[in-house]
Structure 1
Amino acid sequence: MASSTGGVISGHNPFVYNSGSPITLFLFQACLILATCNLIHIPFSKLRQPKVISEVIAGVVLGPTVLGQIPNFTDTVFPSSSIPGLNLTANLGIILFMFFLGLEVDTGFIKRHLKKALAIGLVTLAIPFGCGCLLAIPLFHEYSNKDPNARQIKFTVFMVFIAVSLAVTAFPVLCRILNELRLIKDRAGIIVLAAGIVNDIVGWILLALSVILSSASSNPINTVYILLCTMGWFLLYSYPLKYVLRWILIRTHELDRTQPSPMATMFILFIMFISAYFTDIIGVHPIFGAFIAGLIVPRENNYVIKLAERMEDIPNIVLIPLYFAVAGLNVDLTLLNEGRDWGYVFASIGIAISSKILSGSVAAHLTGLFWRESAAVGVLMSCKGIVEIVVLTVGLNAEIIDQKIFGMFILMALVSTFVTTPLTLIIYPESYRMDLQTYLNKEEQGVEQSAPENILKDNESQSYPKNNMSSFQDVKNFHITQVINITNTVETVSSSLEFLNHMTYGKWKVHSEPITLPAKVASRSSSLSASTVKPNHNKIKKLARIWSRKDEDETVLSVIEESPYGFELEIPLKAIHLRLLTERTADLLQSSSISNDDPHYTANSDSLLQIFNIFSRLSQTEFSSEVVFSTMREKATNIVSLDMKASDLVLLPLKGASFEFNGSPIATHEPYSNFEHIHSHILGLNELSSNFFAVISSSLKSSFAMLISNTGDRLNVDRFKKKKFHLLLPYSNLSSSDFLALHIYLLICYRDVKDCGSAQGMIFINKNNLTFVDKFYELLSDQDWFDESVVNVVPIENPNKVQSEYYTKAFIDVVLEFGLNRKDLMDLEESTFIIAERYFSGDVPFENETKELILQGANRKFDVLVSHYFRQC
């Protein structure tokens, strides 16, 4: 005992389980399990697989199947005497998980899609349930009641359990897959959500029934009592307690809080534990009581989301992974040592997947979906995941199934979950979904079209108008049809709004009615033509006099207007909040909310998008918004899959260099030594994957602008200093991307002049570009807002001629050394340098001039805008 008290220093072996201090071995077991789960999840996350697969496989690896084959490993690390403590913690986690699962059940969402939810949910439950009943017959005769010393199970109990195992759908994993594939607002995704909730609820009821039958098998009359008690408890919670809880939360103003108070959280947890305790003592299972408690929490003002955010981190990070890893520890695949065993494994996998796909596809098609949509619904409903593991663990603990059948069905659950994402991508690819959405939009507008199943072929033959950018005239006529602002982090909101304020412009209003002027004014055309006032060439080109007299003293003049130039037209704004998708229940609750199929919901529910909504109202700009949940690895994929046109501009604001780089908020940071240094810093600071820019450059279907803010963390800002924009054109010949950068620069100048300001900034061109100045001023000669004092064009000596003994200077180096005066250099932090990325391809798709500008921006603390023009083929 003394050595035990003194620990390892006194010679105590920490791997010898001590019932007086069970925490010692438990802490090691928990660390080992969590480390193994996360290591295994690294490759599986790249395959877009849910974490539950990694957690179960971690348990299998640590269990008797793999590491358990090492002599004394299981007796040392997981001795049988320590398992009850591990199970206790794991079961606490699964009770909380079932409570969170109850929070996810949105009855309002079901009511909104009741007909399709019931049809698909019940069909995809009934047919696999029937197939499970048939499979249970040979399984029971082959494997059940073979040990005379073990508990004897009735066939009816076994049959119901096997049928439930094949029929359930994992709603939490389903929500995550729908989010990752961006199907959460798709027509098929909405139906899957509603049907999944129905399937889940009925599945849990059937599982509770099988547990009740198992618990009361010795005395059938007990079954009736347990059913009545369970039903009575459910009704008690669903009606009086639900409304009492809601009344208390309203009276205490809990629903209006930004987060639940500790007292309210404790009270709800108390309700959950009491419910779990009651269902456990009557012979059902504590998880059903926790599930019932989750159903009664009010959903007003997103209260369930706030509650989940407050409660879920420790259970999700520690307790729930322990539960699924312990389930994996109970799997012994070495027991499957006969050919018939693996025959039943493959049979269960085939029946579980095929019965769901067939039933879901037929039911979805009968409710009005096309065949490929219907097949996607069937595939998604076949996902087992978390729920299946819970069901199997409950059955194993209740001794309804033995370890051999448990291992078979764990394999079935893992395979069915693993294939859900790739099968969905094959059956229901992004290209088909986009074409289908186009078809549905036209159908709503009453446009006649060909058969819907041929939309892919039809759309391939369509020709879309091209918005070219290959000459100076295109710069003036080009129109950015929409700015799609991708907000990845909250810190970039200010830089986004500042840039958009300089770039976007309110509505250009066209006269829809004739202008009425006095007759004496209309007749004096010579006076008008001789006026010294400069005419507005871009607005009114012709006045056609209509000699129809309304009365004696007035004449009606019709105004015939020509199309305005591109930078004079309104540019709508679409704000995308790219939220990081985690394992948190709060993310799933938000993404699967009842209003998710309302296109106008996100701007009113997401506080970040509400900021952009207010900005658009103040600037009188057309506005739309969307929330996209994405894992860090899938951010680029989700951006390129957004609905966009070639003439749109995707604006991606990023955090750049920060004073926090060396840990000091007031000292100047050490300079970045090279581009790779700042590039890796930008990826890490903005939570982007290493291949982010490679995916964007290879797959984006629109023009692209990346705004790197290197001045967002300044402690002191002079609000009276005017923002300056400088355009860099470092090459002697201009590309389409250079023309796009010039167009963006003119947008900023035009907006600034129209706001009664004066544009401040310069265009730095390569001195070898001999024709630029003449063509540039000729381009804008007919613009009433522009004169030569607005924009200063500065030729820069070819950087290849400005070199030292050791290196050739980059274009930005020469600009900073020779092109800017002392005042401009002092105001660098108020400046944004715009440059075109002409090729934009490869793993790091930036040319040397762009890299040098990004590096100098980080070191000299000015913002950088990198633009690339998308050329249609």
Structure 2
Amino acid sequence: MPFFFLLAAGDSKTESLLLRVLVQLAVIIVASLVGARVAKWFRQPAVVGEIAAGLLLGPSCFAWLFPEAAAMIFPPATELIGTGEAAVRVMTPLAACMNVLSQLGLVLLLLLVGLEFDFSHLRWHGKAALATSLTGVVLPFALGLGLAPLIYSSLEHVNGAPVSYTGFTLFMGISMSITAIPVLARILMELDIVRTRIGAVTMTAAAVDDVIGWILLATVSSIVRAQFDGWRIAQMTFLSLAFFAFMVFLLRPAMKWMLRRCYVGEKGDEISSTGLGLVLVVLFLCCIATSLIGIFAIFGAFLLGAALSDELPLRKAMGSELREFLSVFFLPIFFTYTGLQTNVGSLNSWTHWLILAGILAAAIGGKWGGCTIAAWQGGFKLREAACIGALMNTRGLMELIVINAGHQLGVIPDSLFCMLVLMAVITTLMTTPLLLWLAPGTELEEPVSGSSLGRVGR
């Protein structure tokens, strides 16, 4: 009763919040559509234009040129509650609404990516995926650790206090190791290569990379807070493996049995509304499970999709029902709204730019170079291995999540924050041009040349 009473009493506040959400959505979708169209001119996937739109709408451009207008449309995401030492900074209701919408978009995206997953290639290339994944974490992490001592002395203090050397070093390693599954997924889908063996191996390696990355992030965050809990990390690993086994051996056969009773149409190649509702309920339950485990909700969505990837009617129905709306509404919110929180204009010395060059060299060499060698040693031809390496080098906005975590913990100062953001954007920008260059002579040549990005400029 109290909850419904508050809803009724706060009707005017609800209407005001709705109005602000609608204004932001309108601006974000228009900016994203324009950014996506411009990106296509440069043979980049729409996600690159959406990231750029977010950065331009944020403090680096729009808020700098028109601060009053920006403050009206995009007010600060946090506010100070309380006074004195008891004051705490919390997320505003508006920012919370937009954040939830963006995360829901990611959940639906990873479900679609999982449904498009083709496991048949992994029978012969599972070792290559594992080797690529481990190399894609270990080598960039080591390069980040090695680079940290060289740039530590050039960093400014955070809030007047020196940056923690240990925390800074560990976060440098993690920031080099992340592969952005949501951005990678968009690129694979737009190039129409999700179901190729290169796409399958890359998504598998990236998924393992990210699980390891999030476990590392949790570990390093605990170290920085001086509250390292080895038991919690072991527990997280065990629960992740147990959930995976549950998905494969229990949930998958149960879902397949129930879905077979929900297929309709003359050929049984469509799914009823009851079936779609069942999938969504199970999707949310899987996301709840992985979120409680501590490896983020999107992994539950990907695992469910992958478990049901051989259900063709489901794949067809979910693709036709969700793909367009997801691309036009949910995903631009995620990519654009995250970009809004990023300020890339604080590099103000040649030292900063030299450090940025070193970060780019370590990031690209560790991911693209390391993963290429691993895939080549795993049985792929060198050109195909280079395609896998180029895809694994995609960092995008998952990287920004890690960077923001380090920034909030006080181990990544503003100037380094900007450098790492630029590294994330540049490595993402590289991916499509590299694939278009490397695809001829590989299994990617036909799907890439027939995709929307491959046809641009012809």
Deviation for aligned residue 1:260: 3.3
CA contact (8 A) 2:191 2:447 kept: no
Separation (CA, whole Å) in 2 of partners of 1:276 and 1:402: 33
Query: How many residues end up aligned between the 2 structures?
Result: 425
CA contact (8 A) 1:160 1:210 kept: no
Q: Which amino acid aligns with 1:207?
A: G
Q: Name the residue aligned to 2:69.
A: 73
Q: Name the residue aligned to 1:326.
A: 337
After superposition, the C-alpha distances for 1:417-455 in whole angstroms (9 at most, x for unaligned) are 2223333444x374xx2xx89xxxxxxxxxxxxxxxxxx
Separation (CA, whole Å) in 2 of partners of 1:338 and 1:22: 41
Q: Name the residue aligned to 1:23.
A: 18
| Structure 1 residues without counterparts, runs of 5 or longer | 1-16, 438-590, 592-596, 598-625, 638-690, 696-873
Deviation for aligned residue 1:399: 6.8
Change in Cα spacing, 1:104 to 1:391, as seen in structure 2 (3 Å) is farther
Q: Which amino acid aligns with 1:77?
A: I
Separation (CA, whole Å) in 2 of partners of 1:272 and 1:184: 21
Separation (CA, whole Å) in 2 of partners of 1:272 and 1:121: 26
Separation (CA, whole Å) in 2 of partners of 1:28 and 1:414: 27
Q: Which amino acid aligns with 2:18?
A: I
Deviation for aligned residue 1:90: 1.8
Q: Which has the higher contact order (CA 8 A, sep 6+)?
A: 2
**Structure 2 residue 43 is the aligned partner of structure 1 residue 52:** no
Local SS of the residue matching 1:48: coil
Deviation for aligned residue 1:160: 4.6
Deviation for aligned residue 1:232: 1.9
- Picking from 277, 286, 296, the partner of 2:297 is 286
> Which protein has the bigger strand share?
1
Deviation for aligned residue 1:242: 5.3
Deviation for aligned residue 1:42: 2.0
CA contact (8 A) 2:436 2:454 kept: no
After superposition, the C-alpha distances for 1:66-98 in whole angstroms (9 at most, x for unaligned) are 011123123211112432332232222233334
**Structure 2 residue 265 is the aligned partner of structure 1 residue 259:** no
Q: Name the residue aligned to 2:256.
A: 249
Separation (CA, whole Å) in 2 of partners of 1:289 and 1:367: 28
Q: Name the residue aligned to 1:200.
A: 206
Q: Name the residue aligned to 2:82.
A: none
**Structure 2 residue 326 is the aligned partner of structure 1 residue 315:** yes
**Structure 2 residue 450 is the aligned partner of structure 1 residue 630:** yes
Deviation for aligned residue 1:201: 2.2
After superposition, the C-alpha distances for 1:315-374 in whole angstroms (9 at most, x for unaligned) are 332122111112211111222223333222222222222333432443344445555555
After superposition, the C-alpha distances for 1:235-286 in whole angstroms (9 at most, x for unaligned) are 1353267524532432452575533333333333333333433444565543
CA contact (8 A) 1:331 1:403 kept: no
Equivalent residues in 2 for 1:418-817, closer than 5 Å? 418-426=429-437, 428=438, 430=440, 433=441, 630-632=450-452, 634-635=454-455
After superposition, the C-alpha distances for 1:177-232 in whole angstroms (9 at most, x for unaligned) are 567778789xxx73x32441332122112222134225644574644235414532
- Picking from 81, 84, 90, the partner of 2:102 is 90
After superposition, the C-alpha distances for 1:30-50 in whole angstroms (9 at most, x for unaligned) are 111111111122222022101
Change in Cα spacing, 1:355 to 1:52, as seen in structure 2 (3 Å) is same
Separation (CA, whole Å) in 1 of partners of 2:423 and 2:124: 33
Separation (CA, whole Å) in 2 of partners of 1:183 and 1:308: 15
After superposition, the C-alpha distances for 1:793-825 in whole angstroms (9 at most, x for unaligned) are xxxxxxxxxxxxxxxxxxxxxxxxxxxxxxxxx
CA contact (8 A) 1:161 1:207 kept: no
Separation (CA, whole Å) in 1 of partners of 2:189 and 2:309: 24
CA contact (8 A) 2:51 2:336 kept: yes
CA contact (8 A) 1:180 1:631 kept: yes
TM-score normalised to structure 2 length: 0.76
Separation (CA, whole Å) in 1 of partners of 2:132 and 2:350: 36
After superposition, the C-alpha distances for 1:744-772 in whole angstroms (9 at most, x for unaligned) are xxxxxxxxxxxxxxxxxxxxxxxxxxxxx
Q: Name the residue aligned to 1:62.
A: 57
CA contact (8 A) 2:119 2:200 kept: no
Q: Which amino acid aligns with 2:428?
A: T
CA contact (8 A) 1:166 1:352 kept: yes
Equivalent residues in 2 for 1:144-163, closer than 5 Å? 146-147=158-159, 155=166, 158-163=168-173
Deviation for aligned residue 1:57: 1.0
CA contact (8 A) 1:215 1:283 kept: no
CA contact (8 A) 1:215 1:284 kept: no
Q: Which amino acid aligns with 1:321?
A: P
Q: Which amino acid aligns with 1:91?
A: Q
Separation (CA, whole Å) in 1 of partners of 2:449 and 2:433: 19
> Which protein has the bigger helix share?
2
Q: Name the residue aligned to 2:246.
A: 239
Q: Which amino acid aligns with 1:87?
A: N
Separation (CA, whole Å) in 1 of partners of 2:276 and 2:34: 33
CA contact (8 A) 2:344 2:421 kept: no
CA contact (8 A) 1:101 1:294 kept: yes
CA contact (8 A) 1:360 1:381 kept: yes
Which stretch of the first structure deviates more once superposed, 43-52 or 376-385?
376-385
- Picking from 392, 401, 411, the partner of 1:381 is 392
TM-score normalised to structure 1 length: 0.43
CA contact (8 A) 1:169 1:196 kept: no
Deviation for aligned residue 1:133: 2.4
Deviation for aligned residue 1:313: 3.6
Change in Cα spacing, 1:254 to 1:204, as seen in structure 2 (3 Å) is farther
**Structure 2 residue 177 is the aligned partner of structure 1 residue 167:** yes
